[in-house]
Amino acid sequence: MPRLVISTVGTSLLTNAINEDKDPKKWISDLTKTANWTQEKIESSSDYSHVFSKIIVPLERRIAEKLDDSNILEIREMSAELNGIHGLYDEKIEDGRYDTHILITTDTAQGKATSQILESFLKSKGIEAAFPLIQPELSISSTAVFTEAMAKLIPNILEMLNKYKDDKYQICFNLVGGFKALQGYFNTIGMFYADEIIYIFEGSDKSIKIPKLPISIDIGKVEKYKVQLAMMEAAAIPTFWEEAKKVPEEWVLTIDKEMILSTWGQLIWNQCKDDLLAQNLFIFPRINYADSFFEDYEKIRSTQERIKLHQTIAKVSQKLIVSKGSTEILFGGGLDFNRYKNTSIDHFRVNDSLRVTCKVLGDTLELRYYGTHDHVERSEKIKGR
């Protein structure tokens, strides 16, 4: 079975390559000072513009040469990440040629350099599917910056993990390297998604593989916030919507008067949402349902179809909250929202073949029919107009 290996990546590969006897004494302090800086920030600095070209690039070359010429023991000693990868494969990395490696790193010059070295190393060992995953602005420069960037990264991670699980990959989290903050977040994610989590005993090359923990979420405690969570998964919710403030504060992140799911909120919602979205219709704000829409909904037998419909309505509701009921926001918003010619009936798409018809009622939108183009148009008696 192929594996998806998620590795948290730090910058020790660079600092460990410094020769304290031969290299300038300032190299370590300069790298420490610019640890959370992008290449652009470094090169535009008056005092540290030399760091990228005169320190990082030479260290990259040195590390690449050492990786080519060293034995396994020496390579494992070069960084925690390399130690963990070798431990994962019991020092036979070539056995992982069908695996996929995702390298989670910060959006900094040093983070990118380290992940690119690891990417090249894995590919040199026959693992072609190896690439860094870098979230813009992700750094550990401050709690606020890190937390906000992680909240934006996690949905992509969860989507990727679900895709690989569906493709029958074994999910492995290699959390030997990387910053403590990254490790903490991915250890939590790994509790829900990893088939195993890899650690290395301190000061050794012996790996320990922790199997997936039997964690379950009390869906009853989540259900009372299902509308808010579904909408925040679709997009940010303005803080003036009072219902959003009822969600437990550790499940949300407030940024510039908008609320999104925190990492913990996303993990909790992701564990429960399919069960909840496949049940009865949610009562979303600024959305009304005609009896005919309830009837069409009850005819849906596919769980995935119910989930997709709910997610689409959540997106519509979120936009109407933002616009305070104006449907102008729905035009050109990725929903293919439009009005049937010579009618007062609007419609939007759920996917290429399924649509919802609706009608503006004051500052709310009444959903009328759901189904294929043919079904909704015949039901609205506008077929052939």
Q: Are residues 223 and 207 in the same domain?
A: no
Tell me whether residue 180 is in a domain: yes
Q: Are residues 228 and 320 in the same domain?
A: yes
Question: Which residues, 6 or more positions from 130, have their beta carbon under 8 angstroms from its beta carbon?
Answer: 100, 101, 103, 118, 119, 122, 123
Q: What residues pair up with 171 in beta bridges, in sequence order?
A: 4
* Strand-strand pairing, 196-200 and 170-174: parallel
Q: What residues pair up with 45 in beta bridges, in sequence order?
A: none
Which residue, of 151, 180, 211, is where some domain finishes?
211
Domain count, the chain: 2
Give the amino acid at 115.
Answer: S
Q: Are residues 164 and 237 in the same domain?
A: no
Tell me whether residue 321 is in a domain: yes
pLDDT at 188: 86
Q: Give the 3-state secondary structure of residue 4.
A: strand
pLDDT at 203: 63
* Strand-strand pairing, 346-349 and 338-339: antiparallel
- CA-nearest of 59, 63, 6 to 30 is 59
Is residue 41 within 8 Å of 108, Cβ to Cβ? no
- CATH number, domain of 115, equals 3.40.50.10770
pLDDT at 384: 56
* Strand-strand pairing, 364-372 and 287-289: parallel
Give the amino acid at 364.
Answer: T
Question: Which residues, 6 or more positions from 78, have their beta carbon under 8 angstroms from its beta carbon?
Answer: 13, 16, 17, 63, 66, 67, 70
Tell me whether residue 316 is in a domain: yes
pLDDT at 202: 61
Residue 57, domain extent: 3-211
Which residue, of 160, 186, 211, is where some domain finishes?
211
Residue 65 is encoded by which pair of tokens? 């040469």
Q: Give the 3-state secondary structure of residue 196.
A: strand
Q: Which helix (H) or strand (E) holds 364?
A: strand 364-372
Question: Which residues, 6 or more positions from 92, have their beta carbon under 8 angstroms from its beta carbon?
Answer: none
- CATH number, domain of 280, equals 3.30.2310.20
Q: Are residues 201 and 263 in the same domain?
A: no
What does pLDDT average to in each consecutive run of 10 residues of the chain (385 residues)?
93 92 91 94 93 95 91 89 89 90 94 95 93 89 87 90 93 90 88 86 70 81 96 93 92 90 91 94 97 97 96 96 92 88 93 95 95 94 70
Tell me whether residue 385 is in a domain: no
Q: Cα–Cα distances in Å, from 284 out to 43, 74, 243, 367?
A: 49, 59, 11, 11
Q: Are residues 152 and 269 in the same domain?
A: no
CA angle 317, 321, 326 (to 5 degrees): 90
Handedness of CA 147, 152, 153, 158 (dihedral sign): positive
pLDDT at 201: 67
pLDDT at 339: 93
Tell me whether residue 148 is in a domain: yes
Q: Cα–Cα distances in Å, from 352 out to 42, 106, 355, 373?
A: 47, 37, 8, 10
Q: Are residues 243 and 308 in the same domain?
A: yes
Q: How do residues 299-358 score in pLDDT, each as one tens digit?
A: 999 999 999 999 999 999 999 999 999 999 998 878 999 999 889 999 999 999 999 999
Report how far Cα 329 is from the mean position of its chain's Cα atoms.
Answer: 26
Question: Which residues, 6 or more positions from 302, have their beta carbon under 8 angstroms from its beta carbon?
Answer: none
pLDDT at 376: 95
pLDDT at 90: 86
Q: Are residues 205 and 305 in the same domain?
A: no
- DSSP secondary-structure letter at 54? I
Quick one: 163 exposed, middle or buried, by C-beta within 10 A (0-12, 13-18, 19+)?
A: exposed
Q: Are residues 127 and 201 in the same domain?
A: yes
Which residue, of 167, 194, 211, is where some domain finishes?
211
Q: Token pair 């990118």 is at which residue?
A: 112
CA–CA separation, 374 vs 15, rounded Å?
64
Tell me whether residue 384 is in a domain: no
Handedness of CA 304, 309, 310, 312 (dihedral sign): positive
Quick one: 94 exposed, middle or buried, by C-beta within 10 A (0-12, 13-18, 19+)?
A: exposed
pLDDT at 385: 53
CA–CA separation, 314 vs 234, rounded Å?
7
- CA-nearest of 321, 315, 225, 318 to 269 is 225
CA–CA separation, 338 vs 348, rounded Å?
7
Q: How do residues 341-363 score in pLDDT, each as one tens digit?
A: 889 999 999 999 999 999 999 99
